[in-house]
């Protein structure tokens, strides 16, 4: 069904029929419920903090009480990417999304500063995250507000001697930093 057909169909419905359909969608489909729950009660700060905790647990998992062993860091970039995509679909403020994007990179750098990481994929994925974050702040017109964090991420790649640190530098050169 095209958008035009949908508009035509909705125009033929009464207000009560529309309300019934929306309530049915709300009850039947979780993404619709999540969307309306967010629209009517955004609590962006709480959502951001919960998301940061999830991302940090990817690198610094919490030992469960009475457990004899500490869980190993999973370092999955996909967890952060999924959260960021969810924030974008909800229409969360671009400053909050950008903050989360840079937080993801910063927490990964904190982990790598104390742990040797031999997987090349880790560095490549962090570069991809950095490139996406920089492009996001540029496209949303908030680059100036994030320049200090961009520079800090780059400096950390130099300090930790990441093999792909020159790729990070190339991004900074492109934006005339």
d(CA 94, CA 49): 16
Cβ atoms 83, 51 nearer than 8 A: yes
pLDDT beneath 50, residues of the chain: none
CA dihedral 87, 92, 111, 153 (to 10 degrees): 120
- For residue 130, what pLDDT is reported? 98
Pick the closest to residue 163 from 120, 129, 104 (CA basis): 120
Q: Quote the pLDDT of residue 70.
A: 72
Residue 65 per-residue DSSP state: T
pLDDT of residue 39: 80
What does the pLDDT read at residue 129? 97
pTM passes above 0.85 = no
d(CA 125, CA 76): 9
Q: Tens of pLDDT along 22-53?
A: 899 889 988 888 888 878 878 888 889 999 99
């Amino acid at each position: 069904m095209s958008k035009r057909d949908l508009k035509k169909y909705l125009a033929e419905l009464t207000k009560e029929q529309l309300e019934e359909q929306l309530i049915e969608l709300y009850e039947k489909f979780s993404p619709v419920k999540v969307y309306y729950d967010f629209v009517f009660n955004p609590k962006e700060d709480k959502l951001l903090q919960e998301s940061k905790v999830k991302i940090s647990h990817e690198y610094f998992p919490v030992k469960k009480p009475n457990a004899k062993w500490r869980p190993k860091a999973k370092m999955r970039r996909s967890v952060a990417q999924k959260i960021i995509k969810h924030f974008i679909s909800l229409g969360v403020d671009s400053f909050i999304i950008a903050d989360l994007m840079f937080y993801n990179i910063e927490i990964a750098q904190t982990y790598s500063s104390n742990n040797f990481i031999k997987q090349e994929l880790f560095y490549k994925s962090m570069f991809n995250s950095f490139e996406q974050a920089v492009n996001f702040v540029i496209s949303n017109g908030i680059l100036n507000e994030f320049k200090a964090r961009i520079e800090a991420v780059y400096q950390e790649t130099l300090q930790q001697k990441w093999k792909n640190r020159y790729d990070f530098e190339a991004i900074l050169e492109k934006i005339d930093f």
